[in-house]
C-alpha cells in the first residue's frame, strides 16, 4: 500500500471503530415477562419507589398514559404513554426492551432517549427489578392517548445523545461508594442513587446537563426551582427518625412543610415506601460523613 492510501485506510478504520464504540447496542438478557401476581405486586411497589407517576401520570387519560410537559433548559419534553396500548403506548414490549430503556437509555430500535427520562440513575437497577416493573406495566389497562412530540431545538437530535452519554461517562465523576456491608445502608444507597433518583434534582449539572457526581447531593437549581443541599453537612441537625418522618409526610424537624417539586416526590414516591425502606434511606443519608 502506498503511503496516502495506508493513511486513508487507517483513518477509516478508526472512524468505523469510533462509531461502533458510540452506537453499538448494549447486550442485555432476552428475558420473557412473568405475569405472576408476585412479580406484578413487586413491580407495583417499585413503580412507586421509582417515582414514575411524577412524570408519566396521564394528563387526560387514566393511569400512566403520559402527556405531562417537562420543562428544561433544552426545551419541553412530554412524558410518553407507558400503558400497554399498541398504537400510542408500549404494547408489545419484551423484557429486553425494558432493560435497554431503563438501564441504557436505548429505544427498542436502538435509538437514544433524552435524559429528561432519568435513565442514568435507573441504570443501577437490578435486572429483576426492571423486569418486575415491566410485569406491572404490561398488566395495566391499555389507554389510547397520543402524547405530543417533544418541543426541542432542531439541532437536538437523538443520535447526539450517543456522544452525550459517552461524555457523561467521563465527566460525571465517580460517586463515593458507601463501602458499608450493612444491608440497611446498602438498600438506602440503592433507593437514593438508582430507584429514587434523588441526584436528578439535588446534584448540580454542568452546562450541557451532565451531573457532577463529585458534588453529589450538594443542591442544584433548575429554572425557578432550587433543590436544597441534602448531604451530611446539611442534614447535621436531622436525626435518622427526622429524615424518615420527612419522607413520609414532608415535614421538616422545624415543623415546616416542604414545597415545590418535592411535594410530588413525597406524595408519589417516598410516602408509599415501607417504613424499612424509609429508614434505609435515612440511614444512607446520615452515613455520608464516613463515605
Closer of 15 and 60 to ligand HEC (Cβ):
60
Rounded to whole angstroms, the Cα distance separating 150 from 80 reads 10
Rounded to whole angstroms, the Cα distance separating 259 from 270 reads 15
Query: To the nearest whole angstrom, how small is the minimum distance from the Cβ of residue 189 to ligand HEC?
Result: 12
**The three three-digit cell numbers of residue 248, written as one number:** 413520609
Closer of 174 and 224 to ligand HEC (Cβ):
224
Query: To the nearest whole angstrom, how small is the minimum distance from the Cβ of residue 173 to ligand HEC?
Result: 19
**The three three-digit cell numbers of residue 274, written as one number:** 415501607
What residues make contact with ligand HEC under the rule CB under 6 A? 47, 50-52, 54-56, 70, 77, 79-80, 82, 90, 101, 107, 113-114, 116-118, 133, 192, 196-198, 200-202, 225, 227-228, 230, 246, 252, 258-262, 265, 270, 281
Query: To the nearest whole angstrom, how small is the minimum distance from the Cβ of residue 133 to ligand HEC?
Result: 5
Are 43 and 132 contacting, i.e. CB atoms less than 8 angstroms apart? Answer: yes
Closer of 15 and 156 to ligand HEC (Cβ):
156
Are 158 and 114 contacting, i.e. CB atoms less than 8 angstroms apart? Answer: yes
Closer of 4 and 237 to ligand HEC (Cβ):
237
Closer of 58 and 80 to ligand HEC (Cβ):
80
Closer of 52 and 172 to ligand HEC (Cβ):
52
Query: To the nearest whole angstrom, how small is the minimum distance from the Cβ of residue 179 to ligand HEC?
Result: 20
Query: To the nearest whole angstrom, how small is the minimum distance from the Cβ of residue 2 to ligand HEC?
Result: 46
**The three three-digit cell numbers of residue 230, written as one number:** 441534602
Are 33 and 42 contacting, i.e. CB atoms less than 8 angstroms apart? Answer: no
Query: To the nearest whole angstrom, how small is the minimum distance from the Cβ of residue 38 to ligand HEC?
Result: 18
Are 78 and 88 contacting, i.e. CB atoms less than 8 angstroms apart? Answer: no
| Cα–Cα separations (whole angstroms), residue 11 to 1, 3, 19, 20 | 14, 12, 12, 14
| Cα–Cα separations (whole angstroms), residue 99 to 118, 264, 281 | 14, 26, 25
Amino acid at each position: 500500500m502506498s503511503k496516502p492510501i495506508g493513511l486513508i485506510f487507517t483513518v477509516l478504520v478508526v472512524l468505523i471503530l469510533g462509531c461502533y464504540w458510540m452506537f453499538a447496542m448494549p447486550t442485555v438478557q432476552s428475558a420473557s415477562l412473568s405475569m405472576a401476581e408476585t412479580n406484578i405486586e413487586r413491580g407495583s411497589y417499585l413503580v412507586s419507589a421509582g417515582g414514575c407517576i411524577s412524570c408519566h401520570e396521564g394528563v387526560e387519560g387514566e393511569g400512566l398514559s403520559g402527556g405531562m410537559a417537562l420543562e428544561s433548559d433544552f426545551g419541553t419534553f412530554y412524558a410518553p404513554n407507558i400503558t400497554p396500548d399498541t398504537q400510542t403506548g408500549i404494547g408489545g414490549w419484551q423484557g429486553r426492551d425494558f432493560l435497554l430503556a431503563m438501564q441504557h437509555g436505548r429505544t427498542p430500535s436502538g435509538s437514544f432517549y433524552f435524559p429528561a427520562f432519568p435513565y442514568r440513575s435507573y441504570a443501577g437497577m437490578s435486572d429483576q427489578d426492571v423486569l418486575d416493573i415491566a410485569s406491572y406495566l404490561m398488566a395495566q389497562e391499555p389507554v389510547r392517548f397520543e402524547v405530543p412530540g417533544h418541543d426541542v431545538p432542531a439541532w437536538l437530535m437523538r443520535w447526539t445523545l450517543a456522544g452525550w452519554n459517552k461524555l457523561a461517562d467521563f465527566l460525571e465523576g465517580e460517586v463515593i461508594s458507601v463501602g458499608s456491608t450493612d444491608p440497611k445502608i446498602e438498600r438506602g444507597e440503592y433507593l437514593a442513587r438508582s430507584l429514587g433518583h434523588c441526584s436528578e434534582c439535588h446534584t448540580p449539572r454542568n452546562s450541557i446537563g451532565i451531573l457532577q457526581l463529585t458534588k453529589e447531593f450538594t443542591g442544584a437549581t433548575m429554572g425557578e426551582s432550587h433543590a436544597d443541599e441534602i448531604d451530611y453537612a446539611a442534614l447535621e441537625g436531622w436525626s435518622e427518625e427526622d429524615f424518615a418522618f420527612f419522607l413520609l409526610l414532608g415535614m421538616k424537624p422545624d415543623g415546616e412543610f416542604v414545597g415545590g417539586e418535592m411535594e410530588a416526590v413525597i406524595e408519589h414516591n417516598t410516602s408509599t415506601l415501607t417504613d424499612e425502606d424509609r429508614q434505609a434511606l435515612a440511614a444512607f443519608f446520615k452515613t455520608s460523613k464516613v463515605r
